[in-house]
Chains A and B, each alone.
Chain A
């Protein structure tokens, strides 16, 4: 069923990696600029939903420093891979975000992405709830329970039919006719619930690795036949924001991009926004210099660990993983997995639980590389090749090249 589609999407991805075109030329950006301007003019005519405070007002009235706000807008402009000239438009879009309703539902999840959203610092969560995003429904934060909560959700879906963004957290269990997950007094299955709620959505945003590719419930042997949103929702734009949890900056970035342009951001073949997933962790890693110098942590707590050497030999999957966490990090930039000496587990890639999430190098784990190629040990592979400038670790490129020559033996 849907597995085939996921596989083919993955193959597409690995055959042609999601490298971002960072510069599309003046003509492109001029046109986009005009489009955004018109879009924002239209939005400005609308009243804030739910009587949210006009955020512009709140910036001025409540002592949120205008300068800080512009700093944030300029950083966000860069994150969205737009020229600096877009900064005023991004700032304007941020104050108009409360014109776009958001409904957030939870399926086969652990609430980790909701928790991550709570940690959002730009903008902060109290601003998100009260002023910025018109959050119509969110199970973890919602005041009402039971049928009042259901009513709130149904009314929002009806009232904003065709306009709202549906954020989905969690996978969808397909086994046993969907009975592994039900919600509400009528015990609607997650599958039916998702279809019903996505029907009136302008776009569906799958947040976190479970909603995108099935995540932990879909790890082998996938006991509940869990799948991601894109395997269930058809005929609607679907945006994937993987990672476990997704970075709140990317969640806000996607919503902001929609407000700014009226359309979804440019996506890679796995439906991930290129602005966030156009980079490999490895490309911007703070320990990259040690990789290039051939300096590795060999085991936990050794001299290499004390000197922040490269974590590749203790299992870092940064070279195979596309995400912007080496740039934006977590918890207001306080740290990130590589900072803490553990290495990347590849959580924004499909099937990472079965392919990446362990603490040994790929060569020692006796598994196939994501491309289907078999990797040799770092040493056999040749440190000379690995340290060659321009190709980074080389595994991605090399494995991609040999992928086509190998007979694919299937999923395992």
Chain B
């Protein structure tokens, strides 16, 4: 007997399990729906991840001049925007066999680096923190004890706290009290305030809220760092096939020193607010992070997921050209949580499957160079009261299901830190080691929702320090008179018949753009993005992706408030518009408005 509930779960199936629909998942980029099945103990026993929007950007790129793809591919996402821009430009550079000048490499690293730290900061404070921090509970804090508490976590992190004055906490608290005193709360309305699974004390909550507001300020500075060399943020504009265009910003010492100043202020916040907050949250949510019962594979803690991690590596550290140079993050694969072995990534082993995606299959999963995408929307199951459910036995998402050598893998900051650590990368071992030492937590704690969030913070600190080196290198190079920003190439001869791949990392994980070029035009274009890896539906043999697997075993305190579900899903920093951008023009519905894209050029 199935029944519809007006609360957080919408139906009860024959075996008595409740089905929860969470749509929209807010505080993410894009449109994401999660359906979870809970048993009588409120433990999640099954989960499905679905994207409900697509646009067709790869199809739009077909037939265009490859030099123009970057500007358009960038619009795959407004958050990791510059990352798509670079991957797209690099795919074409790879195809044309171009090595960019040193200044261009450094400028791209600085634009991309600013994007990383900006993205991680905004993600933690504005898209994720409210899953850990109870805004309403912050109103009950004692500002003096809050300052004491802040000092405590600063000490753990080895820094003076970002806010140490009790009066400053008091002013912020009064602002919040006025805001929540009565009635409507605006964007904070209908949150899960008071839920049993909020673990922070009122003072800790006040620290979280105070830093939420400060971070709104700091992120504007981080965005300015991208704008200095990128022109604007979001959607920078200075990267071209062969190099960058921002000669005057490299030439002018005032621009470089502005970047340095903004980086200094940003680093200060990262070290004195972001990291202490992670130590605080990590400690208060440690039980969750070490609860092996609540995992899919019995290692790590709540939200651990599939435990196989992949990274392509990113941030070139020398000028030896594509895929030869040393990188800040090394590439590699760690499988099934076994950090004693690291496998090399071979892009030929990447395929995409559509068994559970709204596309027509051509048989076996396809490599992106040969990728076809023919939409086949089979709809949702509709109930009489209007609720819709995913047809989870069939197709249920616009996201494809990418596989590495037939396996599902997780990508993202956690994957970068785990692979780097397992590979023995000195820099990564140092930053991860510091975190473990200061927090007193074991390495396996990283294999959890909390660990995923901590890995992002560890990476942010590492990035800030690395960027300081790069901007110094750029200043030195320019001062020595090297103003070269572009490598010349003969477009007509290099674009006859070729293909290339831009393979590196976005803040959210491994990002690849594959392009085939014929007679100066794009013949085929495919992007396999981080959220496709993590948010994809089941594979051909029912293999769960990272989102789905990470929810299994999680206990939901109150099924009417899906706090634990969004906490774990948010720990991946979902970017769903990125993940869904493929459609072919062969579909009948589409043919009506089909215009030959070459006409426009």
B163 to A: closest C-beta gap in Å:
15
Q: Is the CB of A330 within 8 A of B247?
A: no
Q: Is the CB of B52 within 8 A of A187?
A: yes
Find residues 200-247 in chain B having any chain A CB closer than 8 Å to their own CB: 213, 216-217, 219-220, 223-224, 226-238, 240, 242-243, 245-247
Tell me how many residue pairs across A and B have CB atoms closer than 8 Å.
355
**Interface segment, A19-27, A72-80, A259-267, A335-343?**
A335-343
Report the bound CA distance from A263 to B175 in whole Å.
Answer: 31
Instruction: Check: A183 CB closer than 8 A to any chain B CB.
Output: yes
Q: Is the CB of B483 within 8 A of A118?
A: no
Report the bound CA distance from A336 to B246 in whole Å.
Answer: 11
A3 to B: closest C-beta gap in Å:
8
Q: Is the CB of A334 within 8 A of B227?
A: yes
Instruction: Check: A8 CB closer than 8 A to any chain B CB.
Output: no
Instruction: Check: B27 CB closer than 8 A to any chain A CB.
Output: yes
Q: Is the CB of A220 within 8 A of B179?
A: no
Closest to B238 in A: A340
Instruction: Render A301-331 as a binary contact track against B, CB cut-off 8 A, 1 for contact.
Output: 1000110100000000000000000000111
Residues of A within 8 A of B233 (CB): 115, 119, 330-331
Given contacts A183-B52, A222-B595, whether A175 and B590 have CB atoms under 8 Å apart is: yes
Q: Is the CB of B483 within 8 A of A306?
A: yes
A46 to B: closest C-beta gap in Å:
14
Residues of A within 8 A of B171 (CB): 62
**Interface segment, A9-17, A121-129, A377-385?**
A121-129
Q: Is the CB of A144 within 8 A of B577?
A: no
Q: Is the CB of A412 within 8 A of B596?
A: yes
Report the bound CA distance from A125 to B238 in whole Å.
Answer: 26
Q: Is the CB of B78 within 8 A of A115?
A: yes
Q: Is the CB of B600 within 8 A of A412?
A: yes
Instruction: Check: A249 CB closer than 8 A to any chain B CB.
Output: no
Q: Is the CB of A306 within 8 A of B387?
A: no
Instruction: Render B2-14 as a binary contact track against A, CB cut-off 8 A, 1 for contact.
Output: 0000001010000
Q: Is the CB of B24 within 8 A of A223?
A: no
- Residues of chain A at interface, number, CB under 8 A: 105
Q: Is the CB of B56 within 8 A of A223?
A: yes
Find residues 154-177 in chain A having any chain B CB closer than 8 Å to their own CB: 156, 159, 171, 173, 175-176
**Interface segment, A81-89, A145-153, A250-258, A274-282?**
A145-153
A349 to B: closest C-beta gap in Å:
14
Closest to B576 in A: A111
B432 to A: closest C-beta gap in Å:
29
Q: B183: which of A51, A135, A152, A180 is its contact (CB, 8 Å)?
A: A51
Q: Is the CB of B175 within 8 A of A306?
A: no
Q: Is the CB of A145 within 8 A of B22?
A: yes
Instruction: Check: B497 CB closer than 8 A to any chain A CB.
Output: no
Find residues 167-190 in chain B having any chain A CB closer than 8 Å to their own CB: 171, 175, 178-190
Report the bound CA distance from A144 to B375 in whole Å.
Answer: 32
Given contacts A109-B78, A112-B78, A140-B27, whether A341 and B56 have CB atoms under 8 Å apart is: no
**Interface segment, B63-71, B146-154, B466-474, B508-516?**
B63-71
Residues of A within 8 A of B (CB): 49-53, 58, 62, 106-116, 118-119, 121, 124-126, 129-130, 134-152, 156, 159, 171, 173, 175-176, 179-187, 190, 215-217, 219-226, 244-245, 299-301, 305-306, 308, 329-332, 334-342, 345, 353-355, 357-359, 365-367, 411-412
Contacts A50-B183, A185-B387 given; 14 further ones with Cβ under 8 A? Answer: A53-B178, A115-B78, A136-B189, A146-B8, A175-B589, A186-B386, A219-B72, A224-B54, A224-B583, A225-B589, A245-B234, A334-B227, A340-B229, A354-B600
Residues of B within 8 A of A (CB): 8, 10, 20-31, 52-57, 59-60, 65, 67-68, 71-72, 75-79, 81, 122, 126-127, 130, 135, 171, 175, 178-192, 213, 216-217, 219-220, 223-224, 226-238, 240, 242-243, 245-249, 251, 258, 375, 377, 379-380, 382, 386-388, 483-486, 488, 561-562, 566, 577, 583-585, 587, 589-590, 592-597, 599-601
Q: Closest 3 A-B residue pairs measured CB to CB?
A: A112-B78, A223-B56, A340-B231
